[in-house]
Structure 1
Amino acid sequence: MARIAVLGLGAIGGVVAAELAALGRHEVVVCVREPLQRLSVQRPQGTLDLPMRALTDPAQATPVDWVLLCTKAHQTASVAPWLARLCAAGTRVAVLQNGIGHAQRVGPFIGDARVVPTIVYYNGERMAPDRMRLRPAGQYEMAVEDSADGRDFTALLDGSVMRLLQTDDLATLAWRKLLINAVANPVTALTLQRQAVFRRADIAALCLDILEEAASVGRADGAQLTADEPAAIMRTLLTYPPDAGTSMYFDRLTGRALEVEALTGAIVARGQELGVRTPLNGLLQTLLRAVSESAVA
């Protein structure tokens, strides 16, 4: 039995918390702002509806074996009090966040605990504080390094509907996921449309140009991206349900700040460091910042 704390009960955290709790072999606690007693997740295999232990104050927390950090990347510093209480020398922190540079972003807040970077592929939607919806998106729900920590994380979810890929090139997969986010999140947030917007020929053409630019940064950063990577990313996007949203789309609908710097901002910043021009991504960054800075939450 592993002691597991899920930090951030949004679309991603709610789904994985329910899957872990449903296995019945772990001690699972969720760290939330408001109390809750149950958690419900709609999924193709059937709805999970189960009791959930919740903590609402970092002072209630004690060290655990695993922390699943499921907040947005820009919220990492705000949960530092939780991380300080949950982490000890033997704790492993699976970072289920967008972007690249997971270890650099989270490392300053976890002391002697170890970071386990995790790429999330599944599409989750938070329908209420205690109710989520899971939509599979591709062959796997998550990817981790083919290492002892990665294999142990995979074992935590063994028997659930979560399919995990273990890879010896997580950096390339992280860039591929970032490329998806480079168009999926900004375009849906700025147009206030769900995935169906990518069926428009003019939007698809614009996305290809944005992706070509971002892929150039990824290659300069060492990612093994193919020459037709942008076209492959667009084909992947078109496999998603037309009515599926993105995290940035839902954040804009609810007036929350957007995850700009970990997505588009990461591409622009890395491009500047590597000497790769990113005018289109820079334009998106400026527009997204303007929207985010006007958010009410």
Structure 2
Amino acid sequence: MSHPHAERPRQTVAIVGLGSIGGVIAGMLRAADRHDVTACVRTPVDRLTVERPGDVVQTPLRAITDPLQATPVDWVLLCTKVHDVPHAAPWLTRLCTPNTRVAVLQNGIGHVERLTPLVGGATIVPTIVYYNSERLAPDRVRFRPADHQEFAVRDDADGRAFAELLDGTAMRLLVSEDFLTLTWKKLLLNVIANPITALAMERMTVLRRDDVQALCLETLREAVAVGRAEGARLRDDDAAQALATILTYPAEAGTSMYFDRLAGRPLEIEALTGAVVAAGRKHDIPMPVNNTMFTLLRAVHDAHVAAGR
């Protein structure tokens, strides 16, 4: 999606969370140099490197490490994991006013309800992130473009404003009137790729196994039934389509949950498998496969927490 932007004023943008997702979007916005970008981080950095297919983007980056250094901005791009939102709260308090838009670059569903108490009257703009990324170092990330687009947003004034914010970055964006269905289609991808790579401790190559693909299809069929009950317009073949989409990703690609398990960090299970399980229970839909996956993921997560990682 492209918009003329020659006469538009620069906006102030704060990136909260400079992991794989945040690092990519921060680097792309800085390279386009249309806005004043600040990274809100724990580890100070002054330059950012984004590895892309065919080239490498290197840009200077302003970073602050203390919420007390933050001042209100036009846009906050919230790029933390869902379970890290409480740690982002001090940043949101300082960065947000009723004139701020908060774009949520997170997995899962229910972002508006979760964040409304924390943003001081700011407008929350849910997004769907499709690109695959990997954090190589605090100041270096690897970006793998998605098949059709890197983002999707609602077809409303705030969604279109986010599309305009990304002008000049080469990030492709879909504006859709049926954002709920797109959200559940993205969740279908996440409830197989993330849990299975994390539990198997293998990258996407594990999804090439026939037995694992059979497991994926059972997981997806349950999730499709739940998504329909939630109002998403999902078809019978969306389970097979989600698996086919996942298999187009490079075998060497990882997932956020896979990388978190390798590092001994808490897993983002409540926002992914946990969201499907919770919605399924609400609608009294049997989910034996997703429930089993959720139990195993909780066991790994709790072990990491007990170890103090």
2:147 maps to 1:148: no
- The equivalent position to 1:55 in structure 2, one of 47, 64, 84, is 64
What are the equivalent positions in structure 2 for 1:25-44 lying under 5 Å apart?
A: 25-44=34-53
Question: For residue 17 of structure 1, what is the aligned residue in structure 2?
Answer: 26
Q: Which runs of 5+ in 2 are unaligned?
A: 1-9
RMSD: 0.8
Matched residue SS, 1:9:
coil
- Looking at structure 1, the residues matched to 66 and 190 of structure 2 have their Cα atoms a distance apart, in angstroms, of 32
- Looking at structure 1, the residues matched to 217 and 12 of structure 2 have their Cα atoms a distance apart, in angstroms, of 44
- Looking at structure 2, the residues matched to 220 and 157 of structure 1 have their Cα atoms a distance apart, in angstroms, of 34
Matched residue SS, 2:107:
coil
Question: For residue 85 of structure 2, what is the aligned residue in structure 1?
Answer: 76
After TM superposition, give the deviation of residue 259 of structure 1 in Å.
Answer: 0.1
- The equivalent position to 2:182 in structure 1, one of 148, 161, 173, is 173
- Looking at structure 1, the residues matched to 251 and 34 of structure 2 have their Cα atoms a distance apart, in angstroms, of 36
- The equivalent position to 1:190 in structure 2, one of 181, 193, 199, is 199
Question: For residue 301 of structure 2, what is the aligned residue in structure 1?
Answer: 292
Q: Kindly provide the amino acid, as one letter, of the partner of residue 151 in structure 1.
A: R
After TM superposition, give the deviation of residue 45 of structure 1 in Å.
Answer: 4.8
What are the equivalent positions in structure 2 for 1:1-297 lying under 5 Å apart?
A: 1-295=10-304, 296-297=308-309
- Looking at structure 2, the residues matched to 239 and 137 of structure 1 have their Cα atoms a distance apart, in angstroms, of 10
- Looking at structure 2, the residues matched to 117 and 189 of structure 1 have their Cα atoms a distance apart, in angstroms, of 26
Matched residue SS, 1:47:
strand
Matched residue SS, 1:48:
strand
Name segments (4+ residues, structure 1) moved above 6 Å. none
- Looking at structure 2, the residues matched to 45 and 177 of structure 1 have their Cα atoms a distance apart, in angstroms, of 27
Aligned length: 297
- Looking at structure 1, the residues matched to 143 and 126 of structure 2 have their Cα atoms a distance apart, in angstroms, of 21
Deviation by residue 1:197-216 (Cα, 9 ceiling, x = unmatched): 11100000011001000110
Matched residue SS, 1:294:
helix
**Which moves more between the two structures, 45-54 or 224-233?**
45-54
After TM superposition, give the deviation of residue 153 of structure 1 in Å.
Answer: 0.6
After TM superposition, give the deviation of residue 44 of structure 1 in Å.
Answer: 1.6
Q: Which runs of 5+ in 1 are unaligned?
A: none
After TM superposition, give the deviation of residue 127 of structure 1 in Å.
Answer: 0.4
After TM superposition, give the deviation of residue 73 of structure 1 in Å.
Answer: 0.8
Q: Kindly provide the amino acid, as one letter, of the partner of residue 148 in structure 1.
A: A
Question: For residue 5 of structure 2, what is the aligned residue in structure 1?
Answer: none
Deviation by residue 1:205-247 (Cα, 9 ceiling, x = unmatched): 0110010001100000000001111100010011000000000
Deviation by residue 1:84-140 (Cα, 9 ceiling, x = unmatched): 000001000000000011101111110210100000000000000100000012100
Q: Kindly provide the amino acid, as one letter, of the partner of residue 37 in structure 2.
A: V
Question: For residue 7 of structure 2, what is the aligned residue in structure 1?
Answer: none
- Looking at structure 1, the residues matched to 249 and 114 of structure 2 have their Cα atoms a distance apart, in angstroms, of 29
Deviation by residue 1:36-86 (Cα, 9 ceiling, x = unmatched): 111000002521111100010000000000000000011111210000000
TM-score, reference length from structure 2: 0.95
Matched residue SS, 2:133:
strand
